[in-house]
Amino acid sequence: MSELVPYLKLLSERGPSIATRELASRFFREAPISAVRRVMDVCESVDARFTFFIVGISAKDNPAIIEEIIDRGHEIACHGHEHLRFPLLTPDWMRRDLEQALELFDKQFSYSLNGFRAPYLEMKEYVYTGLK
């Protein structure tokens, strides 16, 4: 884990976009729940917080780790409900997917999602409109 300290320092100094890819490539090859715990442990060892972009159906299937992320003070952001390719969806379908994710986190975890990253990092102009 000590080899991750430089990435975590970048994370705390410059924000999540700098270190996210490196952290993801190192950790998320493993079982997701153990990887999430490792990310939290390493971040906390350097007094940093992480933003986890979570898909709604994954949260529904793994509520304990979602509660742990929240309890440990990390942020959860929206990554859609079903990890769909937004540019292939109609605006209504995309909106329903986002609303499902928002509703799930609000009702099941009493957590309000504020951040968003499109699945596959694919964005179209109407995706921005739909986020408003």
- Residues 6 or more apart whose CB falls under 8 angstroms from that of 11 comprise 18, 19, 20, 23, 43, 48, 50
Say what the pTM is.
0.72
3 state SS for 55-72: CHHHHHHCHHHHHHHHHC
Task: Give tens-digit pLDDT for 98-124.
Answer: 999 999 999 999 999 998 888 877 766
Task: Give tens-digit pLDDT for 44-87.
Answer: 999 999 999 999 988 998 899 999 999 999 999 999 898 888 77
- What would the mean pLDDT of 29-35 be, rounded to a whole number? 66
